[in-house]
Structure 1
């Protein structure tokens, strides 16, 4: 079977370009793998929860596996294709460490800002908490920018699953005032998002939401 991902058929405008089906879409384009997309309207339904117990997207299935979590899905796509992930042990493990770091060490700080300033902006404490959330994020981004240094990609000249996931996470800050402090990270995101595979992936992602309006 053609690998298949499941994601939303519609989201509000503010979420377009940020739903996490973008990550496997990008991976598929990088490795040259055709794929299908099943669109859903209710991620909390019993049917979907059998695939994703937390009621989120995306999910993934192929002839051998059915899995969820964008990091696991991207890794499956890369390993199945033998691309985006080095063969030699040391660089392979470094690619995996950066994939894990993107999800575990960076994304929680990025999401904390989104939760505070978007999803919980109407709470009485959100304005007071904003400065602390931003300070924590800037501390983490300072560490990440130092680790990137003058490298093109996180581990040098080779783009890997670690970079795909890190750029995807940092892309959630696209256009934010916080990212303006970090010129190297902004340039790094720009390099990732200028890749033809990303351009195709985000165009297809956005077309999902534009299609109903065009009909």
Structure 2
């Protein structure tokens, strides 16, 4: 579903980010969900100074992206947005109580039981690659993340997706796994690497990813935050 600036759903993203962040900013998640659900959305692009301002903080208390609104609700946090979109599409969330509960459970697991451990590694590898504390801590971070990935791989087994078919939970989990910054660690779990690649090969992901990349200007209109 192409971007439709007249659509009811509005997703806020940054107008510019550094190269390393392009294709990974969290507005990718609701963009992907809209593409899977066949729902048009409009984008609102902001700069860093706007994000820090009081007006935007009333929409997103932490000054991050994305923010979200539709004809009924206004929200922040990408996982919540994906669930909101999934409620409108049986493609992303089964209508049975059990099916819905499983999607909610896996979205929560991705954001709470996997992503924090992934970000511990990203924090070292991407943001503090030369820090002495990072060099000392990294082996422990790798081992802790390895334990989480092993548990996830055991659950996945030979299944294509977390449950019986692709759901909103796979959007969140696949975007989390994309952020693992150690290729050798992911190579220890070929089923997880294949699962990640299977999800991101979907046309809806490709469309959302391309749309996010196309939204970035060549140069920042506002300075990077201090």
Kindly tell me the number of residue pairs found equivalent between the two proteins: 212
Note the C-alpha offset of 1:178: 1.7
In structure 2, C-alpha distance between the alignment counterparts of 1:73 and 1:34, rounded to whole Å: 14
Query: How far does the alpha carbon of each residue in 1:33-67 deviate from its partner, in whole angstroms, 9 at most, with x for none?
Result: 11011001022111211100011110100111000
Q: Which residue of 1 is the match for residue 10 of structure 2?
A: 4
Query: How far does the alpha carbon of each residue in 1:159-210 deviate from its partner, in whole angstroms, 9 at most, with x for none?
Result: 0111111111111127722211110000001110111100100011111125
Which of 77, 90, 100 matches 1:92?
A: 100
In structure 1, C-alpha distance between the alignment counterparts of 2:26 and 2:179, rounded to whole Å: 10
1:53-202 mapped onto 2 (5 Å cutoff): 53-156=61-164, 158-173=165-180, 176-202=183-209
CA contact (8 A) 2:12 2:67 kept: yes
4+ residue runs over 6 A deviation: none
- TM-score, structure 2 as length reference: 0.89
Note the C-alpha offset of 1:85: 0.2
User: Unmatched 5+ residue regions in structure 2?
Assistant: 1-6, 221-226
SS of the aligned residue for 1:107 comes to helix
Go from structure 1 to structure 2 and tell me whether the alpha carbon gap of 1:26 and 1:208 turns closer, same or farther (over 3 Å shift). Answer: same
In structure 2, C-alpha distance between the alignment counterparts of 1:145 and 1:166, rounded to whole Å: 12
In structure 1, C-alpha distance between the alignment counterparts of 2:63 and 2:205, rounded to whole Å: 26
Q: Which residue of 1 is the match for residue 223 of structure 2?
A: none
Instruction: Tell me if 1:26 matches 2:32.
Output: yes
Choose 49-58 or 121-130, whichever is displaced more: 121-130
In structure 2, C-alpha distance between the alignment counterparts of 1:116 and 1:173, rounded to whole Å: 11
SS of the aligned residue for 1:5 comes to strand
CA RMSD of the aligned region, Å?
1.6
Query: How far does the alpha carbon of each residue in 1:90-143 deviate from its partner, in whole angstroms, 9 at most, with x for none?
Result: 122111111110000000011000112222334331111111111111110000
User: Unmatched 5+ residue regions in structure 1?
Assistant: none
